[in-house]
Structure formats: structure tokens, C-alpha cells
Structure 1
């Protein structure tokens, strides 16, 4: 699915702003059938949870409704009119006047509807969008809904971030010609100074297609005919980490000399490969430095914010971070576009987090139900997971910044049924995109001895908290445990190891002269102990600190106003660890630290 763009043949309107808003318990059974009976207004894009002072709205479980009136530009007569939602978390239904035109399950990928037959150029229509935040055993991510004795519905889930919901990304109205380009796939190869560019173009109907490749200055460097083919770029400028260079593949539907539709798909020329225990970009070893992040800011929740986008990337550049993982869901497309333009490397992750019922057993000490069974994660869950993989790759396949797909975060991979659940998903990922490595991250409960699926992946990705959840306050023991585990994984699989999470909760302004957990000094010492272990293991190809910034979680005794593992506060003020990481990462420039440490 192509991102809406304004071109010589297409126009678009961003429908962001204030919408009428209501929860389902405050309106009738058919809220789309007329004007929404409410005094509330909600901002789009934003999660609705933190906008209002009513806790019943913040903790609402079920459907909420957004509504506004939209006027179709009068110049769109004769074009197809499409309505697109960049995301609706976690389920969306779209009504034009009183007609359902689209529905979608999955909270972080786009969907759209052709509404040409329902609207008229120059006239208004009523647009109503329902959004449902419910998580069950067959959704991605999964969850459970319980009903209290007094009848209140409560959402329970196993992922450690707040279940923000609503229209957190933009809503668009856009036009395309009757015969139009529907999708573009670009795959690049690199041989010395020559690039190959394989392309496939899908059109709404059979049509003649012309392709032109333009360099960053707009000069034409290759041309082709037909909906698929391979072009060559001589004296190519590759896309490199920290040195982004983008080309445009301009696809055109032509009728003689007339261009009926045109769409420019940006791309970068770069290759990705895992060889032995190295991760290679353009044939050169690459060392990841950076973070797991979250789309999480005060008031907006998971709502996309261009100002925070720019500032977060500035802070990463200031620190020498060259990469991040989209923990734990696909981020807004604007984030990947920005990473493409600025040479930041991305590990792109599905929303498959919390697939681990063993965690509740670990926290409570009680037996837990099996993670994989007919009553828990089952064939329907895997089907939803497969849909999430398809939609992630379908949306993000052309981004040069994306170098690896992550199919899940911390699933229970030591239990019966794990391999049967994951092997088809890994096969699907490789079938959809054979050009990028595939990974999943391993939780503390998954070890080199009990894991059942790590051999399916190209890189061993470990989330480890020695010195925090284990050996808390004892960094000598923590460092020894990390050393031993790294050696064990390398001895078992002989694959690169990427530390995808390691971190310690830290209260800004709390200080101590001792190794006192929660202090800024302990966070610095904790990171240093981990880094010494990483530097001693040649197979380690990178380090992603958990987390970039503090973020909101479900309230409870385990969290005080959210997760505090950020090296920045939620408002993006640096803790001492940010300066320590800057001193370590800035000199590296994507190279492995010296093993002399």
C-alpha cells in the first residue's frame, strides 16, 4: 500500500485536527447514523486516554467514536476518492454517512477505502470512525478482558507499556486517476560502483508503465518500460548508515505521450547480509548503537508528533546512536521516512509483544497456563500474527533504513508449541522479503539451553537485565553472568549476537556514592559493566539500551509513574547515562569497540 502523496496526478487532504468524540457507553447503538451526541472533542493524531480528566475515559475498554464533516474538493470530479487511516489502535471501522466502508484489525498499520461511489466532488459528507482497544488471546498483541463484580470491564495484558488507543496517526482523503498505480516494490543490489534495481509495479487495471530513476539532484540515471524489470545505475552513490543518499523511482502510467498517473517511490541502494558472526551493510561490518524506543509522549500518548520526531533524532545524533528498534510495534511511516533521509538504521518489529504467559508465573511464583494451546495462543492468534507480518513488510519493504525484520519481542520460546507457532511465521517473513535478515528477541526466561527456535533466525537478539532483575545491585556477578551467557550462545549457534535490551530503572536526580539501584550513578555503572562484557565477545554486533526515554505503563506496584529505564526522562531531559553513552558511542561510528577492554 503506497503512502498518499501529492503528485501531478494526485491530490490529498490531511484530516487532522479536532474531532467530535464519545465512548460507546455515552451514545446510542448506531452512533454513525447521525451527528454524534457529545460535547467532547479529541485531537487527531493523539491517543485519547490522556486528553481528558475523566478516568472512566482513560481506562475505557471497548469502542470509542470520532466524527467530523469533510468536504471533497470540487476539482476531484472524475477521479477516484480514497480515505486512508494511518492507524486505528487496535481495531477500526469507518463510516461514510451511515455506510460502513472499511474495517481493519491491527493497531499500527494503515488501511483505506475507495469511497468514490459514496461522495460527490464539492460536497460534504459525515465521516465517523470507531476505534476499539480490546485485546484478546487472538489479537496481536494479545490480552484478556475481565469483568469485575460491579460490572466494570478491565483490560489485562502482558506487555510493559500502556495500552494507549485511538487515532494516533493521521487520517487522509486523497484522489487518484481511474487508472492508477497501487503498489511499488524496489529491491537493490550493489556490485562495486554499479547498482541493480529490480522493480515491480501493481496497477489498478492493465496499463502501459514507464519507469524513470532520478538521483538526489533530479537527474535521470536510468529508464525502463513495463510493470517489472531490472535497471542499472552506474557510478551509484550507496545509502550508508550516517550518510543517506536517496533515489526516486518514478512510476508512470502512460497513454501515448500522456501521463495518466505518476508516483515517485524513494529508495536507497544498499545491501544487508549476515556472514558468520558479522552483520554487514554494503559488505562492511556494522556495529549497532542505539535504543529500543517507544512512541510515547506526555498528553499525546502514542500520537505521532513531528516536533518530538525531530528532537528525538537530534538527541540520538548527539549521542552517537546509529540505530533503533521499533519496540514493540511498527512506528509511524514518518519515522522511517526520516530515518531514510538521515541514515539511521532500523530494526522493524511487529506488534507481537506479550506472547509469554510464563512471565506471569515468573512474577507470581504460581503455575501458569501454557502459552500455546487452543485456549491461549492458537491457530487464530498465529493467523493474526501472520497478517501483522504481511502488513508490516507490505508497508515498509522499500525503506533502506530497515535492515532487519523482528517478528516478535520476548515470546515464550522454551515452551511446548513454540516451534510449531513460529516456524511458519519465519518462513512467511523470508518468502515476503528474502533480502533482509529475520530475528526475534529472547526474554530472560529463554536460555541457550531451553530455547527451541533461535536456530530459525539470522541474529541472536537478547534482552538481558543482569544487574537489575537478576543480581540487582551486584554488578560483579552481573558482568560474569553476561560473559557466560554470551559465550554459551556463540558456542551453540555461531551467529552474531545483538543486545536488543539491557537497562536499569533510574530516578532522575537520585544520587549515591554507593552502587545503589535507582540512582543515576548505578545506571552508569550498570551500562559500563554490560559494555565490558560486550567488548570481550567478538560475536556481539551491537547494543540497544532499554530505553531511549522513560515511558508510561499500566499502573501497578512494579512501576512508579511508568518505566524509568530511559536515559532521558519522558520530557527528554538527559540523565547521567546519556552523557556516558555519548562518550562511548561517538567515537565508534558503526565500528566494533576495541576488544582490549
Structure 2
């Protein structure tokens, strides 16, 4: 079925002359499309035919989808191709009609009424197409073929060894209608460029450049009228620029306004000016564009970054554009949530790695006062020998030149962008070439590069380092090494919430065993270094990464160095950073709270993050003591044997080695400002601890003892009790019926050696629930059902039904031991005190929960 976009601005008829359009510019977001998988082409130089869209069958299995959209949402692999199509109603052919595609992974061909009108290579920059010559009155058919095939996407700054690029229209698509004399979308931009010049404390100039096009068959006298408003919304200046514009011509119109006592933009001070420029011909408005910008200067002097002449010590994070469910197709509300977390954490800089992000994100940075490092997509080619997918990029290319220019011009007006990057861990001669391309087009910002160590292009203003001492090699104390760590573009350690070690150990294995406690040691040392002991020496500190992202690293699933999980839940290191980044905001957080059942020594210790003067800890109501901020030293056991001097004193970290009681422990902390935090953990005991819920808890497998955990389960948290990497399953978002439930913890039940029957007797009325895997997977995981797991799930379902349990119709999911999302289901049965519940064992991930 054809999809029709019917909007008032598209149903317009010119009754008098071609210049009688009512509104100068109308914009419609095209969210709804039909989708059909296709085959990628086998060679980079092969193109789809000029009339390929004419041969699309209405009888094919088209599916309705909403943008932003990734192939995976329809169970199509990333390296495939697909068609998107819809219909548009156009009645006024005297108007100009543009299609603005914000991002498509990775090569897009645009068809109108069956014929190709344009192509764009590159996933992460926008493209704008003038469809006017191909339109007809009435219904018009727009189709977009998007391919992310390896051959087609080669050498266009889209693929990398360091991240996964989703296939699909993963950013919005817009329909723009203007008058016949309009802004020309130069390099995919709005066509309106704002440049601050001669910026001083008492005066500044603002250059306004409009790229305009006359599509009429006769010359026109054009007036470009610009209104400039200041950060407070008041009128600041007006500018009128006139020009004779020949038929069919495109040219820039340039003017300048003076601004007295400018309010300058800087990190933490998001002062924005807005410019609205209207194009008029014979008094008729043809087009109108509004852009915002900020007035500020950027320089590097003696190794110091200067914004408006004042030093900026860069303190922030790296950020990809990816989530667990949407992959690259992230909706605006999730991006806003991310930027809320970033702002609340107190970063002053974000590196938007490793490719141009949506303009939406740069706008967020502008309005929040956060500086940006923007990157062109050239990343990771140094490691192509480690993977089978080769992105090319061994030499500069015409597409690379164009994409780098598109990055610059599409984001020209954003004052938040302080740094342009020509690449990351790649061939230095290629990065040096793209640095020259950037500098040829923009000299108002610094040009940089992120180096793995020896790759050092010589055409940038400075080189930053991706330094991981204490992770891939060496010891974490090597972070103090200068000048190597003067500019840190990346540093980080992986952590996974089900993996833990004693507090006085430094033990981990990259991509296999990444315990929370080691990540905390690694991080606290770095933060003490850049905020306290070597603050002035470390000019740039950018943690890798803000959010986990899909990658070939941990369990071949994701990069776990994120401060928040791929699902968006803050980890310990988020709160630890926040304690240093936000001295003005009370932070109090008990660390390692996902380590709910503890096998280590009772005095292994309790760690808390806070920026208060002091913190008190109570265990089961008993005061364990008050610690002052600065009392904590890292344990000597985690330092090299040849370490000279005492272990580092770390601020904002508090530690008690007060022993936990056997069984249940309620941990409560209070700080000097009256803030509180609380959690419940269990310390190992030979006999099951008493609890108000159940008695006579039994497991038929002596190697898989069961323990009742009397605390509410948590979304995104583990539910098995092993912490050695043998049970890395976690919940996803919780079904509503499970919220607040306690549970029975075991070892991982999908391990055949851990199969066990479980039984217990209720002490009070409760709803008994069982959540288990089904053997199927969400579409985006790209997995077929697992027959063995399906059989086990069906068998357990039959048994539960026979026992009087009812299956919930609501969908559920969680993560398997391999971290991929898996489908699950929930069964429940209201039960009475005195009932004995017996659940037969299966080789199947499952958990028993109880709720009043």
C-alpha cells in the first residue's frame, strides 16, 4: 500500500504568478516508510540501475517502519541493503522541493518516480537533494535504496574495526519546500553560515553568509534580510544585503554586523545568538532560515587550550551514538536523556567519536555549554589485520575529502565545536591529508588527532593519546607518565556488573573478566591524578566511553568501558566521576552494590563514593565508623612490587574493612550534608540465613546451593550469584509484575552441570513467579531460535501450567551469559503460607521470585 503524506503546505496552488507562495519555507519530517530487504552489490564501482525503483513490486513483502530505523529492527543484518519508499503529494511545481537525509548507513541512492536523482556515500553526514525537476503534479513516489554492504561502503569513512555501523535510515529524513529563490544547501548544510570575527570583550563582528540559488528562468533582484537576537532574546542588529541574481545562478551573499559588548560563549556559559535570514524578491518572501551560534575565540598557547583567552582544562568523556535496542537509530528522547546525564555529571567537553553525529547533539552541546571534539569517521585502520572486515581508507579519497568537508560545513555554526579531528588510530599520512582539508576550510578551530602511540600526523595543532596503562598493558599508576598523558583523548577500563574481586586485588583479563572493583581502582587513581596531584599537567582528560557500545571486545559483544551500560544504567564509575566533576553537587553512592552475595572474607570491605567532608557507615544498624574525605589510601597489594613510596591517597573515596555479619547485611551511609544511601548484601554462611518469606529452601544439586535474597531485584542487574565470569546474565527492563520482588539466587541454570530441582515452603502469603528464557531472541539480535533451549522451555512451561501457574501475556527479555538480549516469559501463582513449592530443574536460564 502506498503511504501518503498529506499536509497543508504540500497542497498549494499558485493562482497568480510563480512568486505567490504563502510561506517561505515549510518543513515536514518523513517518519513513516515502507521497507523491503535487498541484496548489496558485489563491487564498490557497481551502481544500481538508473530505473531500479521502477521495478519494485507492490506484491513484495513491504513492511511499514518508522524512522529512525536500522536494518536490524527488521531482522536484517548490518551488511545488507534495503529499499525505503513512500508517496508525497505535490501540487505546486513552482516551489522548490528538497529531500534532506540526515544519515543513512552507508550508501544511499535516491529515486523519484522510478528514476535515480542522486547518490551519497558516507553514513554519518547529511545529504540534500533537489527533487524539483523530477516531480509531477499530484502523487509522487520517493524511494531510497540504502546499502551497508562491505564492497559498496568501502572507502567512505563509514566502517571501522572499532565500532559497528548500522545499515538503514538511522537518522531523520525531511521534506523541505521553499520558494524558487532559496538557500542552497551547500555540502548538506542549511546554506546559512555564521562566523564571529574580531571578538574582544567590548566588541565583535558577526559575518553572515547566505548561499542562495535562483531556479527561475530570469534574473531577480534579491534582498537578504537578517535579524540578529542576543542570548536574552533582544534585538541586537539587522542586516540587509542586496544582489542581482542571474537565472539559474548560485552565489554567496555576505554581510557583517557589529556587536557591542558581546556575550561570549564558553563551556558552562551557553550564550547563543540567533540569526534569522529571509530572502525576498519584489517584496515577496522566498525562503527563511534560522541558525544559532556563539561568539568565542579558540587558541592553543604553550600547550594550553584557551577559550576567550582563558585556559580550559578539558575534563569529559567520549561518546558514541548507539543504544542496545536501537543501535545507531536513536530517537531524540534517548539523546536528550544522555545529554541530561552528561550535563548532570558535570563534563565540560565531549568527544563525539568517531564520526559526525546528528546535528541534534551539537545543538544540545551548544545550549548546555559543553565543548565538543568532532571527528570525521576515519578510525581504527591500524587494527584491520585483526578483523575480516576491511574498510579500506589506506589512502585519501575523494569521498573522504567530501565527507570531511561536509562535517565542517554542516556543523559550521556550532560554537561548542572546539576541536576538529582528522582521525583516530589510523594511517598517519591519511589523517594528515584530512587535517589539511579541514584547515583549508576552517581556521577558527583547533585540528587534532587521537593516536594509539606511534601514529603521529604532522599537520595537526596537537596530538592527543589513547592511553590505557593498567588495562591492555602496564600498571594503572603509569597514567602519571608525562608528556604522554598530557592530552588524553581516551582512557578507560571495562566493567561488568556480575563480575567481582576482593577490594585488595588487581585482577582482570581484557574481554573476558572485567570486574567492577578493578575498574574502580583504575578510575579513582586517574581522577585523583587529573583533579588533584597533577591537575595542571593534564590538559585533556576524556574517559572512554560514556556509554557501552557494540564491539568485538567483551565476549565479542560490546565494549564495556562505558560509564553507563548499553541499556543506559549508570555504573559505579559514573558516580565516581561525578563526585570529582561536580564538587557543587552532593554525591553519595555505595559501590559494588550488584555484588549481592559475597563469598570473599567478611572484612573484604565496603567502598563508598562521595564528595562530602565525611561519611558514616552503619551495618545492620551498628556504626562502623566515620571516615574523612582524604583518609583513604589504595591498598598496597594492588601496587607493583618495586613501587617506591606509599600508595596513593584518593579523595572522594571512603572505605571500611568492618566485617559483614553472616547472612543479610543492610548497609547505610550518611554524609556531612545529610545525604543517605542504602543497599542490602549477603555474606556467605554455611547455613541458610533466616528470612520472613520462606523456609526449608532446598536444591537437589549439591554443587548449586540456592540462597534467598531479601531485597528487590533491579533492572539491568545480575540475578545469579557467581561473580567469577561463569554467570554474566542480567535483567533488562523489568516487567511491571516483577518490580519489588525478592528472589532465589543460584548458579547459572543454563550450565548443564548446574541443573537442579528447587523447593521451599512459604512462611506468608505471596505470589510466586518464575521467569525463564524461551529460546527465541529479539529481531535485532539476528539469531534463529535455539532448538535445545526451546525444548527445555516448552517442557518447563508444561510443568508450570500443571502446577497451577499462569503465563503472563506481556513480553519480557533479559541477557544471556553471552550478553545478547534473549526473549523470556513470566509465570505466576498466588500462594498461601504453608504451601510447599517444588520447581523441577531444567538446563535453562530461570529464576524464582516472590512478591507480596
TM-score, structure 2 normalization: 0.58
CA-CA distance at 1:532 after TM superposition: 4.3
Which residue in 2 is equivalent to 1:81?
A: 97
- Residues 272 and 293 in structure 2, CA contact (< 8 A), matched pair in contact too: yes
1:202 aligns with 2:221: no
- Residues 277 and 539 in structure 1, CA contact (< 8 A), matched pair in contact too: no
Instruction: Supply the distance in 1 between the matched residues of 2:62 and 2:96 (Cα, whole angstroms).
Output: 33
Which residue in 2 is equivalent to 1:185?
A: 193
Which residue in 1 is equivalent to 2:730?
A: none
CA-CA distance at 1:460 after TM superposition: 2.4
Instruction: Supply the distance in 1 between the matched residues of 2:128 and 2:68 (Cα, whole angstroms).
Output: 19
1:352 aligns with 2:378: yes
Which residue in 2 is equivalent to 1:526?
A: 522
Any idea what SS the aligned residue of 2:561 has?
Answer: coil
- Within the candidate set 435, 444, 453, 2:444 is matched to 435
Any idea what SS the aligned residue of 2:570 has?
Answer: coil
Instruction: Supply the distance in 2 between the matched residues of 1:214 and 1:396 (Cα, whole angstroms).
Output: 20
Question: Which segments of 5 or more consecutive residues in structure 1 lack a partner in the other structure?
Answer: 1-5, 144-157, 472-476, 490-496, 590-595
Which residue in 2 is equivalent to 1:469?
A: 472
Q: Superposition pairs for residues 394-433 of structure 1, below 5 Å?
A: 394-413=409-428, 418=429, 421-433=430-442
- Residues 321 and 585 in structure 1, CA contact (< 8 A), matched pair in contact too: yes
- Within the candidate set 258, 267, 290, 1:241 is matched to 267
Which residue in 2 is equivalent to 1:63?
A: 81
Instruction: Supply the distance in 2 between the matched residues of 1:550 and 1:44 (Cα, whole angstroms).
Output: 25
CA-CA distance at 1:100 after TM superposition: 0.5
CA-CA distance at 1:488 after TM superposition: 5.3
- Residues 109 and 145 in structure 2, CA contact (< 8 A), matched pair in contact too: yes
CA-CA distance at 1:404 after TM superposition: 1.0
CA-CA distance at 1:99 after TM superposition: 0.9
- Residues 492 and 544 in structure 2, CA contact (< 8 A), matched pair in contact too: yes
CA-CA distance at 1:531 after TM superposition: 3.3
- Within the candidate set 65, 86, 104, 2:120 is matched to 104
CA-CA distance at 1:542 after TM superposition: 2.2
Structure showing the higher helix proportion among its residues: 1
Query: Alpha carbon RMSD of aligned pairs, Å?
Result: 3.0
- CA offsets per residue over residues 424-445 of structure 1, 9 Å max, x none? 32222111001000011001xx
- Residues 465 and 502 in structure 1, CA contact (< 8 A), matched pair in contact too: yes
- CA offsets per residue over residues 477-500 of structure 1, 9 Å max, x none? 3323x333x2358xxxxxxx4311
CA-CA distance at 1:394 after TM superposition: 1.2
- Within the candidate set 546, 549, 573, 1:548 is matched to 546
CA-CA distance at 1:324 after TM superposition: 1.0
Question: Which of 430-439 and 506-515 deviates more?
Answer: 506-515
1:562 aligns with 2:546: no
Any idea what SS the aligned residue of 1:204 has?
Answer: strand
Which is bigger in relative contact order (C-alpha 8 A, separation at least 6)?
1
Any idea what SS the aligned residue of 1:424 has?
Answer: helix
- Residues 316 and 322 in structure 1, CA contact (< 8 A), matched pair in contact too: no
Structure showing the higher strand proportion among its residues: 2
Which residue in 2 is equivalent to 1:574?
A: 570
- Residues 32 and 65 in structure 2, CA contact (< 8 A), matched pair in contact too: yes
Any idea what SS the aligned residue of 2:238 has?
Answer: strand
Instruction: Supply the distance in 2 between the matched residues of 1:90 and 1:279 (Cα, whole angstroms).
Output: 35
Which residue in 1 is equivalent to 2:72?
A: 50
Any idea what SS the aligned residue of 1:58 has?
Answer: coil
Instruction: Supply the distance in 1 between the matched residues of 2:260 and 2:459 (Cα, whole angstroms).
Output: 37
CA spacing shift, 1:142–1:204, aligned 2, 3 Å: closer
Which residue in 2 is equivalent to 1:251?
A: 277
- Residues 124 and 158 in structure 2, CA contact (< 8 A), matched pair in contact too: no
Which residue in 2 is equivalent to 1:328?
A: 354
- CA offsets per residue over residues 258-284 of structure 1, 9 Å max, x none? 433322221111111111111111211
CA spacing shift, 1:100–1:186, aligned 2, 3 Å: same
CA spacing shift, 1:376–1:255, aligned 2, 3 Å: closer
Question: Which of 244-253 and 209-218 deviates more?
Answer: 209-218
Instruction: Supply the distance in 2 between the matched residues of 1:165 and 1:62 (Cα, whole angstroms).
Output: 7
CA spacing shift, 1:312–1:440, aligned 2, 3 Å: same
Any idea what SS the aligned residue of 1:161 has?
Answer: coil
CA spacing shift, 1:509–1:13, aligned 2, 3 Å: same
TM-score, structure 1 normalization: 0.81
1:119 aligns with 2:135: yes
- Residues 45 and 167 in structure 1, CA contact (< 8 A), matched pair in contact too: yes
Question: Which of 191-200 and 531-540 deviates more?
Answer: 531-540
